[in-house]
Amino acid sequence: MFEDLAVEDVLAAVAGTDFARLAVDDMGASRIDAITALEKVVRVAQARIAEQVDGLHHDRRSQAAFARYGDPAPSVIGEVGLARQVSPTAATTHFMFVLGLRSMPSVRTAFGHGVISEPTARAIIREARTLDPDDALLVDAQIADHLDGLTPKRAATLTREAVIRADAEAAEARATADRADQHVSYHPEPDGVGTLIVRGPAEQLLATHDTLESWARGLRASGDSRTIGQIMTSTLVERATGLAHADAIDVELSIVMPLDALTGAQQPADLVGHGPLSPGLAAEIATRATHTWYRRLLTDPVTDTLIHVDPRRRRFTGQLARWIRSRDRHRCRQPSCECRIRDLDHITPHRAGGPTTGANGQGLCTTSNHLKEQPGWTVTPQPDGTVIWTTPTGHTYTSPVPTYPGRT
């Protein structure tokens, strides 16, 4: 129904179609046609974004203001991340994808024409990232006739096979690099639950999983009433922390509560570094915490912002450092960034006379802290606690004061 329209005409055509009337006659076929056409629009738009990112990087490399600072990639990544409202990590991943497209013209063309999706194009570039430009062109030519209809997984397999044929040493290098890329990350979920993700050598993690599962099944066979998953999780916590029982965590946690919660008001609490908790669950955690230091922090019942006192120091340490991390909810204050705080930063630099106070302090991840020092970037605190980030192109982005669970 929409297949003969130019990409730029699809949105108007879909908006002007009476799908409710057509549904009686075509059993929803027109809606499927619209979905197919709109998917192509999305793909082409994503390809155009990639082209603009590539162009911005090229322009910056030729501008004298940036040339003396070396590769402007960090500044480009930071500004694109703000414009797209994605984290620095996501912006970096996208930037590396854009660079990879330069060496694979067939993939770039298929992506630009909406033949393949961005996830499929990313899968191809990821598999070919260890190749030199000449080998990348060879692989690009080998897979060019097979791109139409490829899913990300099939694209990855096809490209991996072509990479091995083109350069077996590059394939080995990729495996070595991948196995060295090891990390552990925590991701909060609702209802006081979190997910711990571990990335590392397959044989080590498989052995860890199998050991935990074997231990759990043995305890279940001996009469333990907990589920296999509960036993595996508790055992992992106990062995990682060295504690006899998973509940006896010996760490400092802060529970942020509204001021009127002291009078019995049923308001949400906040486990700093995780997120909102129901009052009952917060109380349960606090009751179990016989070996844990729980710092109770109070929020203003009107503004839902953290109540505090600003001690003056040269560095953000002690109570002031803890307060800033808690006020910022342990997340980087750069707009769109969701990384955990790594650095405590003077918004107005100390070298420029910026005071060491809560009002002039912010928590940043390492990438964002480096970004604000790039040429053309300014970060300015406001009287109401918000922070304004201004990029080299003059675009501004606002970082509001983080709020805690309140009445709204």
> Over 90: is that where the pLDDT of 151 sits?
yes
When pLDDT is cut at 50, 70 and 90, the band that residue 250 belongs to is very low
- pLDDT at position 367 is 92
Output the pLDDT for position 171.
77
Token digits for 257? Answer: 């509560």
pLDDT at residue 407, rounded to an integer: 46
What is the C-alpha separation between 192 and 281, in angstroms, rounded? 8
Burial call 95-123: b when 16+ CB within 10 Å, e when fewer: bebbbbbebbebbbbbbbebbbbbebbbb
Q: Is the pLDDT of residue 342 over 80?
A: yes
Please state, in angstroms and rounded to a whole number, the distance separating the CA atoms of residues 202 and 208: 10
Which tokens belong to 362?
């912010």
Determine contact, residues 315/345, Cβ cutoff 8 Å.
no
Instruction: With cut-offs at 50, 70 and 90, classify the pLDDT of residue 55.
Output: very high
CA distance linking residue 283 with residue 268, whole number of Å: 11
Average pLDDT of span 103-113: 96
Look at residue 340 in the predicted model and tell me its pLDDT: 87
Question: What pLDDT sits at residue 312?
Answer: 41
pTM: 0.72
* pLDDT confidence bin for 309, thresholds 50/70/90: very low
pLDDT at 277 (0 to 100) = 72
Alpha-carbon torsion angle 333, 339, 342, 346, nearest 10: -10
* Beta bridge mates, 193: 189
Mean of pLDDT values over 271-300: 64
**Residue with the two structure tokens 């930063």:** 345
State the pLDDT at residue 313: 47
What was the pLDDT predicted at 368?
93
pLDDT-wise least confident of 69-73, 277-281, 379-383 = 277-281
- What is the arithmetic mean of pLDDT over 135-155? 95
Average pLDDT rounded to a whole number, residues 279-298: 61
Q: Is the pLDDT of residue 3 over 80?
A: no
